[in-house]
A and B are shown apart, each in its own frame.
Chain A
């Protein structure tokens, strides 16, 4: 009974937040809208990272690669197709790349997989650079910049989609398979799970949303070149944000990445020279004092509350 009311209140809270987000451009300045767009970008990247790496425990640093593929696809197609198509094609391009790369490398485990994904970003970024220098002859591309409200709503749609996808994957038979793979890959395989297919598909689904965000964010930049499209920081941010928030449920990574992205924006604008230093310090404190992230802190508080209650006669 209590669980149900808790569930409904969570759901209601979520709807309220969603409505606030939808109406945001009507009451906030365009600076605020861009600010929230940026935060949502990080939230989406973190959520899609958690779809694969959360249950399986395979730490991927390829986020920047899939994001960048979305960016480049969108840059190439910009002006030729309408926005939804550009986003979908960018997302599909990332999906395909992840599927191919995943089939080749998801037999690697632990550190080796992580290192490979890290190298993948460099490889694709350098390939794009080489291609531009040697084939097209110009480095970087001009993009038709779009109105910030349109970008904001596109990001909001992607956010809702990734949220739905995460929710359904988590609750489905597929999610159960993912969890079992994370806990014992061998036993999962011998229980009839096609481990490779499940891993590769999930990896590709998570890349799909990363590509979608990339395709949208391109429209904000008006000019893209390989270093901005394949920014390695975007590989580490979702990982750090997921650790900061926790990965046990859907809300933790959202809360974690929102706070984290908010802090980053504030720090870069207020303390442009010391921001990395402050950020590093904050991260250290989090890892030392909140090893299970915000989620861990909440769980501890809950436990303490329960403990006090049961002590009362």
Chain B
């Protein structure tokens, strides 16, 4: 079943098409990887889906309802949560309150602050931040700040989660933990789209990969198909294999 359906999506910045007539869909329960060289329009695509910017043309359907053009908070409450490429936390706020915010505002079923404490603790434990409830977000390590973003997003009870480079800047152990977390999220029944440069992670956990290049969809398919796709190798993987190793 399609949970997200994007048709003819276009966004221009000045004369540059950051997203050029992109069509794709995501099925319920999938983990879809979104890859492409820098400037390919991956984050722009996330910004369009989450409502941070409005498309110039095209339509985004979420669970058969049009969400393109809605304000970010409406899209969040509809069930699409996201994280940010450069972490967007509330530096002086406690870990606990980050999750409270997600629960109270993002989840349309919640109207009162009662009975949330337990749910908050569950979410914090789920992402692996237990024992850090009262720490200020600014005092966490980068890996934990990224987990906190995921926790806040999960608190809004999403059905679709957009992860924008949750593994960038993490060490190999942390990457492995993050991969495990993404799998656990999917096992909860949440569909995931992830932008990632860590190819090891993409290959290991994604059911399907979409490749963007200059704002256009270049290829789409199973991870092993993508690695064999000639045009992908030319624009992207060719360049990528030159790097000594992913960090």
**Chain B interface size range:** 20 to 34
Are A186 and B88 in contact, CB atoms less than 8 angstroms apart?
yes
Q: A119 interface residue, CB < 8 Å from B?
A: no
Q: What residue of chain B has the Cβ atom nearest to residue A181's Cβ?
A: B90
- Known contacts A173-B104, A190-B52: A184-B90 contact under CB 8 Å: yes
Q: What residue of chain A has the Cβ atom nearest to residue B107's Cβ?
A: A192
Q: Report which of B71, B77, B84 forms a contact with A187, defined as CB distance below 8 A.
A: B84
Q: B100 interface residue, CB < 8 Å from A?
A: yes
Q: Report which of B73, B89, B100 forms a contact with A176, defined as CB distance below 8 A.
A: B100
Are B77 and A192 in contact, CB atoms less than 8 angstroms apart?
yes
Residues of B within 8 A of A191 (CB): 73, 76, 81, 101-102, 105-106, 152-153, 155-156
Among the listed stretches B21-29, B91-99, B203-211, which one makes contact with chain A, having 4 or more residues with CB under 8 Å of it? B91-99
Q: B82 interface residue, CB < 8 Å from A?
A: yes
A 187-213 binary contact with B (CB < 8 Å = 1; else 0): 111111111000000000000000000
Q: B113 interface residue, CB < 8 Å from A?
A: yes
Q: A117 interface residue, CB < 8 Å from B?
A: no
Q: B72 interface residue, CB < 8 Å from A?
A: yes
Those 10 A-B pairs whose CB atoms lie nearest each other, nearest first: A192-B106, A187-B88, A192-B105, A183-B90, A192-B76, A189-B72, A193-B105, A184-B88, A194-B73, A180-B90
Interface residues of B in 127-184 (CB under 8 A from A): 149, 152-153, 155-156
The 25 sampled A-B contact pairs (Cβ below 8 Å) are: A173-B104, A173-B113, A179-B92, A180-B90, A183-B90, A183-B92, A184-B89, A186-B84, A187-B84, A189-B76, A190-B50, A190-B52, A190-B84, A191-B76, A191-B81, A191-B102, A191-B153, A191-B156, A192-B73, A192-B76, A192-B77, A192-B102, A192-B156, A193-B73, A193-B101
Residues of A within 8 A of B105 (CB): 173, 177, 191-193
Which residues of A pack against B, CB within 8 Å?
Answer: 173, 176-177, 179-180, 183-184, 186-195
Which residues of B pack against A, CB within 8 Å?
Answer: 50, 52, 71-73, 76-77, 81-82, 84, 88-93, 97, 100-102, 104-107, 113, 149, 152-153, 155-156
Residues of A within 8 A of B100 (CB): 176
10 additional A-B pairs beyond A183-B89, A190-B72, beta carbons within 8 Å, are A176-B97, A176-B104, A187-B152, A188-B90, A189-B72, A190-B88, A191-B76, A192-B106, A193-B101, A194-B73
- Known contacts A192-B77, A192-B105: A180-B72 contact under CB 8 Å: no
Candidate in B52, B77, B104, B106 with the most chain A CB atoms within 10 angstroms = B104
Q: What residue of chain A has the Cβ atom nearest to residue B138's Cβ?
A: A183
Q: What residue of chain B has the Cβ atom nearest to residue A186's Cβ?
A: B88
Residues of A within 8 A of B97 (CB): 176
Query: A187 CA to B101 CA in the complex, in Å?
Result: 11
* Chain B: minimal CB distance from A198 (Å): 9
Residues of B within 8 A of A173 (CB): 104-105, 113
Q: What residue of chain A has the Cβ atom nearest to residue B76's Cβ?
A: A192
Are A179 and B93 in contact, CB atoms less than 8 angstroms apart?
yes
Residues of A within 8 A of B84 (CB): 186-187, 190
Residues of A within 8 A of B156 (CB): 191-192
Q: Report which of A177, A186, A194, A195 forms a contact with B101, defined as CB distance below 8 A.
A: A177
Q: What residue of chain A has the Cβ atom nearest to residue B157's Cβ?
A: A192
